[in-house]
Amino acid sequence: MSSPDVETYLRTQERRSLLRFITCGSVDDGKSTLIGRLLYDSKMVFEDQLAALAVDSKKVGTRGGDLDFALLVDGLSAEREQGITIDVAYRFFSTDKRHFIVADTPGHEQYTRNMVTGASTADLAVILIDARKGVLTQTRRHSFIVALLGIRRVVAAINKMDLVDYSRGVFNQIQRDYDECAARIGLTDVTCIPVSAIHGHNIAARGPEMSWYDGPTLFEQLESVEIGHEEASRPFRMPVQWTNRPDSTFRGSAGLIVSGAVRLDDPVRILPSGSDSRVARILVGDRDVDTAASGQSVTVTLTDDVDVSRGDVLVARDAPPSVAGRW
């Protein structure tokens, strides 16, 4: 690429939004296989990884030697031996429209606490449902946790449609059951998609097997869903992750803006100390900007020499949260 082409490419990459989402559901609904398929279809698997996957699929795979996409995610030996996800596995991939961070969370009831960890930072939840089994107790449990943590956007991926002969009737019944479940717990932004993660149907591409379905593919839904509007409208909040002090002339507070926006000269308050100051500089990487919003990782410097350390929170001075010492 020529230099202008590189600069254009980098600007395009910078403008792409980031969606954090989780996959959850009951045991053996195909969560790891789905993520493996997402990585594969987004061209995020290198040739050496494919070669290793082919070898592993023959050794410990569950598809008779065919590529077992779950092995791209299930990295622990215990997970491969048992065929279940135990720990939360994070993977990064991207398309032309958006960057993604996905958390593959355990389906087994014993590891529900790990699912909560993965859901705590997600913008959206993909809840898998085995088309043969329908909505199960663990499906409802995970859906309730998703609602409890404030995730309002849900994709109900009705997986393994190939094992029910791609039946439209089966899909419609599960969709009705899940919509009823979701409505009872306050989940109203739900999109149901019939998929086959193993074969890739309705993941990135459609196929003749489910020509009766005219909704979005999973990729289309993930790329188009709107995110960040609620967070952007809330007051500014930024937990401080570390103090950035490369030399004696610079001292900044680095962290992820979890809600609202901040601008130069905005009045802020440091909690829990209650000290007040104003924003002197905002840096994204090593670049100064005039404003930053929810979802961006930034370094903020203040006009006053006040004590700010890891664990403190920078908030809008005119809209601070309440501070409590116990629940």
Q: Is the pLDDT score of 282 beyond 90?
A: yes
Tens of pLDDT along 216-234? 999 999 999 987 656 666 8
Specify the CATH class of 16-227 in words.
Answer: alpha beta
Supply the pLDDT for residue 91.
Answer: 81
The structural domains of the chain, with segments of one domain joined by +, span: 16-227, 231-316
| 16-227 matches 231-316 in fold | no
Closest-CA residue to 40 (of 24, 27, 22, 53): 53
Q: Is the pLDDT score of 92 beyond 50?
A: yes
Supply the pLDDT for residue 86.
Answer: 42
Confidence grade of residue 276 (pLDDT, cut at 50, 70, 90)? very high
Confidence grade of residue 81 (pLDDT, cut at 50, 70, 90)? very low
pLDDT top residue among 196 and 285: 196
Q: Is the pLDDT score of 110 beyond 70?
A: no
pLDDT top residue among 169 and 152: 169
- By percentage, how much of the chain surpasses pLDDT 70? 74
Average pLDDT, the chain: 82
In this structure, are residues 25 and 31 in contact, taking their beta carbons and an 8 Å threshold?
Answer: yes
Tens of pLDDT along 18-54? 888 988 887 777 887 888 888 888 877 656 667 766 6
Residues facing residue 93 across a β-bridge: 100
Superfamily for the 231-316 domain? Translation factors (2.40.30.10)
User: Which whole number is the average pLDDT over 57-84?
Assistant: 56
Confidence grade of residue 325 (pLDDT, cut at 50, 70, 90)? low
Supply the pLDDT for residue 76.
Answer: 38
Supply the pLDDT for residue 7.
Answer: 63
- By percentage, how much of the chain surpasses pLDDT 90? 43
Supply the pLDDT for residue 14.
Answer: 57
Tens of pLDDT along 248-271? 889 999 998 888 899 999 999 999
User: Which whole number is the average pLDDT over 281-307?
Assistant: 91
Supply the pLDDT for residue 221.
Answer: 96
